[in-house]
Structure 1
Amino acid sequence: MKDFKIYIGIASALLLVYLIAQYNKPNPVNWTNTLYYNDKIPFGTFVLYNQLNDLFPDAGVIRTNQSAYSVFSDTTMMPGNYLIIANNLELNKEDYTAMVKYISAGNSVFISAFDWGGMVTDTLKLNLNNEFGKKSVGVNFSNPKLKRAENYVFDKHLTDQYFKKFDTTRATVIGENSLGHANFISYTFGKGKLFLFANPQVFTNYSLLKPQSADYAEKALSYLPEDAENVYWDQYQNHDIPTDESPMRVFFQHAALQWAYYLALASMLLFVVYEIKRRQRIIPIVEPLKNSTLEFVTVVGRVYYEQRDNANIAAKKILYFSDHLRTAFNLKSAGYNHEFISLLANKTGIDLLFAGELVRHINYLLPQKHITDHELIVLNQLIEKFYIQSGSHGK
């Protein structure tokens, strides 16, 4: 009995140590491109948002959560700099007209996004592309006072995107990459300016915590007037507005539907209680046939896992995914470029923002020779999410 108590004590102590270790284990890094002002993950914009008062010391920082038309048409809106850093930009005709009117009054608007659409691209004739397969694409400024002797170089392909086409008769190129493609342009409207920047990840926490990257971002934002009275941070375009996405929100917004929901639950509970008594004999358990295919897959998976060749696994998953796109959607993936993102979203019915995230992650992994477990897991999660959103399943 005494020995049994000793064993119980040792087991309890080991369990306690395990629970403490699990509780203090660091969480895996979240590499999602949120660009959310309150996110401290690598690709959030917490650092930039909290440094706005240092960049514009005399300005008040104000967040906006309405459409561009509602914001710019508000007669109480004060002069200043307006920042839009978002995954997806979509301004309609009314939004664009109101924004141009605001700029013409002597204000500045700075926009940086991955996917551009709506009146901005149509009116200014914008078309974006990526330097796919290129390594170490540097960027620099056109202004000799800001231009550095050596290009600014960012890892993780943060500066791959550029403006392939734009209205050269109206635009001024103020930044280019090392291949001579414009990534930073400006337009003049009346007394103000519109700045368009093709690389939003430059302003994320991951980038700004490095001295070189922070210097480049600071110079890019230096084109905005430093003595502005206000700095507006747009939440609407990046969908940073918390919303209730519960499927039951419609019921709880109306009293009649809410009571109907409660009555339905009560009726179902009464039915279950009434029918809880078994009406038929116990059905005997029939052992399912042994699935030898599953054992084979398990063995093959264990071999790959033991070799730890993540790059090989990722290449096969991407090849398998490309074959699925070709057979299920007749979608050829000769090149995962910007046009392919829109084509992928239109043909499969998935969200455009998610399509961009999936393609960018594939483009990031393709040239890599060494891939971490986390990067491989993210690839698998994105492909599985694609199957769910598109309503298709891998072969």
Structure 2
Amino acid sequence: MKNRNHVLTVVAIIAILAILAIFIYYYKRDGRKSYSWTETYKIDEKQPYGAYIISELLKGTSDDHTFEVSKKAIRNYDFGAYKGTSNYVFIGSRLFYSEVDLDSLLSFVSKGNNAFISCEDSPSVASILDYLLDIDCDHYFWFVEDDAVDLNLPEYALTANKKYEIDHIKRYKRYTQSWLTFDSLDCDTNIRILGYVNDDNPNFIEVPYGQGFFYIHSVPDAFSNLHMAHEPGLVYAEKVFSYLPEGNIYWDEYSKLPNLSNDSNRGQQESPFKYILSQPGLRWAWYLLLSLVLLYLVFQAKRKQRTIPVIESNTNTSIEFTETIGRLYFQQNNHRKLGLLKMKLFLEYIRNHYHINTNEIDENLIQKIVTKSEVPFESVERIFRMYNRINKITEVSEELLINFHEAIQAFYQNCK
């Protein structure tokens, strides 16, 4: 009996070490933090392709209005619960509407409200355009194959050349993907093109419906935490959502999931087990569960331990840099800290766009920036003068912070 227990102990140790080795290999093999790279666009997800930052941005713009997160089908929304103009927002890889859900959304917009939909799945977008465009219209799609593209909003000057570059990253590497754009929109003169991919491929359109409007956007990557964690991404998102009027916001979490929103197609969707195996995090959780069950069967413990309470992990352990940006816009009241972070982003912009070494901040650096950006010396010098003041004092006034922000924004708008 003693030898048998010894063997079982050795087997258990080997099994546990094997499981740990698998996790270390797949999630820690490059020495960097392990993130989930699944494109979920979930509102509470702080991983690279979650939608935590954009949701916080929208909450911050609706202080006088309601921000409601809906986890039920559109057909069950109580759109009449709040007075005034309202905006429906969906950001996700795919849409799962039933016909009843789509009819409810069309009715909501026709009454003078608005719907913003950012989706990269062409069949999902086509199902909406079928209702919005003329029945004889061929709304073909075009795909741009690249690992990075420029997003352009002609009505806004995001940078000097009016473009914002985003790339498709998985596990810290760029990968080529098919970026969805609209190819033929000549059939309906009511369509207004608001944004482009690489200058000539429409990806953001406004379509009137009844007394309201649909805003269709085909690159949800732009609103992921990965890209919203940087200043250009925040600026782009602010400009895109500026087309929506102020009002209540209905954030749709439900329609991102299969097997839920379209009840008539439940039998045609993939099984839950297949979905679990398709997601890296869920797959390894499943393997771990099977391993633990196996260990339990091997040991068949002679006594039961009392239940050990589960200690929830800290909420600030994933993507700390995104929470810093989130606090920048919605939570932080430390003006000095905000000013220093603003300067850090400004210097990063200078390094990336003009290839200037910013380690030494002196008059020589200012002159190099003036020469390459073609911004007047007084404007650039004013930025560094206010920065020196913010860096030296402990209490920064709101007025100084606002002036500092406006000076940097003026630089972005006028630099070459």
Determine the C-alpha separation between the residues in 1 that align with 2:258 and 2:96.
15
Larger radius of gyration: 1
1:138 aligns with 2:158: no
1:193 aligns with 2:213: yes
| Aligned-residue offset at 1:100 | 2.0
How many residues are matched?
Answer: 233
1:102 aligns with 2:111: no
- Contact 2:149–2:197 (CA<8 Å) still a contact in 1? yes
- Write the letter of the residue equivalent to 2:251: W
Deviates more, 1:49-58 or 1:151-160: 151-160
| Aligned-residue offset at 1:202 | 0.8
- Write the letter of the residue equivalent to 1:152: Y
- Contact 1:162–1:183 (CA<8 Å) still a contact in 2? yes
- Write the letter of the residue equivalent to 2:255: Q
| Aligned-residue offset at 1:90 | 3.2
Listed one character per residue, the Cα deviations across residues 11-62 of structure 1 (whole Å, up to 9, x for unaligned) are xxxxxxxx9xx9x997512111110111110000111112222233322211
User: In 2 relative to 1, CA 75–54 (structure 1 residues): closer, same or farther, beyond 3 Å?
Assistant: closer
User: In 2 relative to 1, CA 26–131 (structure 1 residues): closer, same or farther, beyond 3 Å?
Assistant: closer
User: In 2 relative to 1, CA 170–90 (structure 1 residues): closer, same or farther, beyond 3 Å?
Assistant: farther
User: In 2 relative to 1, CA 350–94 (structure 1 residues): closer, same or farther, beyond 3 Å?
Assistant: closer
Which residue in 2 is equivalent to 1:162? 181
SS in 2 for 1:98: helix
User: In 2 relative to 1, CA 159–216 (structure 1 residues): closer, same or farther, beyond 3 Å?
Assistant: farther
> What is the TM-score when the length of structure 2 is the normalising length?
0.48
| Aligned-residue offset at 1:87 | 1.9
| Aligned-residue offset at 1:136 | 3.9
> What is the TM-score when the length of structure 1 is the normalising length?
0.50
Determine the C-alpha separation between the residues in 2 that align with 1:241 and 1:52.
28
Determine the C-alpha separation between the residues in 2 that align with 1:190 and 1:150.
32
SS in 2 for 1:96: helix
User: In 2 relative to 1, CA 46–144 (structure 1 residues): closer, same or farther, beyond 3 Å?
Assistant: closer
Name structure 2 gaps, 5 residues minimum: 1-19, 134-138, 169-175, 262-267, 285-416
User: In 2 relative to 1, CA 350–99 (structure 1 residues): closer, same or farther, beyond 3 Å?
Assistant: closer
- Write the letter of the residue equivalent to 1:154: I
Determine the C-alpha separation between the residues in 2 that align with 1:144 and 1:206.
23
User: In 2 relative to 1, CA 235–241 (structure 1 residues): closer, same or farther, beyond 3 Å?
Assistant: farther
- Write the letter of the residue equivalent to 1:143: E
Determine the C-alpha separation between the residues in 1 that align with 2:112 and 2:159.
26
Determine the C-alpha separation between the residues in 2 that align with 1:82 and 1:239.
17
Listed one character per residue, the Cα deviations across residues 138-183 of structure 1 (whole Å, up to 9, x for unaligned) are 1111325778534111122689221234453332111112250100
Which structure has the higher relative contact order (CA within 8 Å, separation 6+)?
2
How large is the Cα RMSD of the aligned pairs? 4.0
Name structure 1 gaps, 5 residues minimum: 1-18, 244-345, 359-376, 383-395
- Contact 1:62–1:233 (CA<8 Å) still a contact in 2? yes
Listed one character per residue, the Cα deviations across residues 266-293 of structure 1 (whole Å, up to 9, x for unaligned) are xxxxxxxxxxxxxxxxxxxxxxxxxxxx
User: In 2 relative to 1, CA 193–30 (structure 1 residues): closer, same or farther, beyond 3 Å?
Assistant: same
Which residue in 1 is equivalent to 2:164? 152
| Map 1:191-340 → 2, pairs under 5 A | 191-225=211-245, 227-228=246-247, 230-239=248-257
SS in 2 for 1:149: coil
- Write the letter of the residue equivalent to 1:137: V
Determine the C-alpha separation between the residues in 1 that align with 2:86 and 2:157.
24
| Aligned-residue offset at 1:123 | 2.4
User: In 2 relative to 1, CA 141–28 (structure 1 residues): closer, same or farther, beyond 3 Å?
Assistant: same
| Aligned-residue offset at 1:235 | 1.1
User: In 2 relative to 1, CA 27–158 (structure 1 residues): closer, same or farther, beyond 3 Å?
Assistant: same
- Contact 1:162–1:182 (CA<8 Å) still a contact in 2? yes
| Aligned-residue offset at 1:193 | 1.0
Percent identity over the alignment?
Answer: 23
